[in-house]
């Protein structure tokens, strides 16, 4: 008898779960579409590209700050790019150092990494923090 009561209770509960749904008129039923197949690897754009440049700029700036300490800091973006290998740094595919501004008085710098998609992010070593970023448009300085 208890089993019949439990089954009846389950049927009533399941019927009540669907009661909030609107009925679909005949002929307008839909079927779930199959998930689309990934098209293969590509340059991340939008949020994925933005996350990539944020990771790269933070890693590069912090590592370069340590690498340059006690020696002359670079003065140009080209000089920073030249020291990446010496500092043991590589950026994600499609990302580049696109901007660098050195503050001689504070012995600090701001670094900008940009992706092929135009996503960009800057890191300022004075407060040791990610400063600005955008999903498009590229670095605001260079």
State pLDDT tens for residues 5-55.
Answer: 433 333 333 344 444 444 444 444 433 333 333 333 344 445 669 999 999
CATH numeric code, 46-134: 3.30.1300.70
**Greater model confidence, 142 or 124:** 124
The pLDDT score that the predictor gives to residue 99 is 97
* HEC secondary structure over the chain: CHHHHHHHHHHHHHHHHHHHCCCCCCCCCCCCCCCCCCCCCCCCCHHHHHHHHHHHHHHHHHHHHHHHCCCCCCCCHHHHHHHCCCCCCCCCCCEEEEEEEEECCCCEEEEEEEECCCCEEEEECCCCEEEEEECCCCCCCC
For the whole prediction, is pTM greater than 0.75? no
Q: List, for residues 98-130, the tens digit of each pLDDT value.
A: 999 999 999 999 999 999 999 999 999 999 999
* Residue-range domain boundaries for the chain: 46-134
């Amino acid at each position: 008898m208890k089993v019949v009561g439990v089954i009846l209770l389950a049927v009533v509960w399941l019927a009540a779960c669907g009661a909030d749904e609107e009925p679909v008129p005949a002929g307008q039923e839909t079927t779930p579409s199959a998930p689309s197949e990934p098209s293969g690897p590509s340059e991340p754009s939008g949020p994925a590209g933005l996350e990539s440049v944020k990771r790269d700029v933070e890693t590069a700036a912090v590592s370069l700050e340590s690498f340059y300490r006690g020696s002359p800091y670079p003065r140009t973006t080209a000089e920073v790019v030249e020291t990446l290998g010496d500092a043991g740094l590589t950026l994600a595919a499609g990302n580049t150092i696109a901007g660098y501004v050195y503050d001689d008085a504070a012995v600090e710098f701001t670094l900008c990494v940009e992706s092929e998609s135009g996503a960009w992010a800057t890191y300022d070593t004075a407060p040791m923090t990610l400063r600005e970023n955008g999903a498009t448009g590229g670095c605001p300085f260079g």
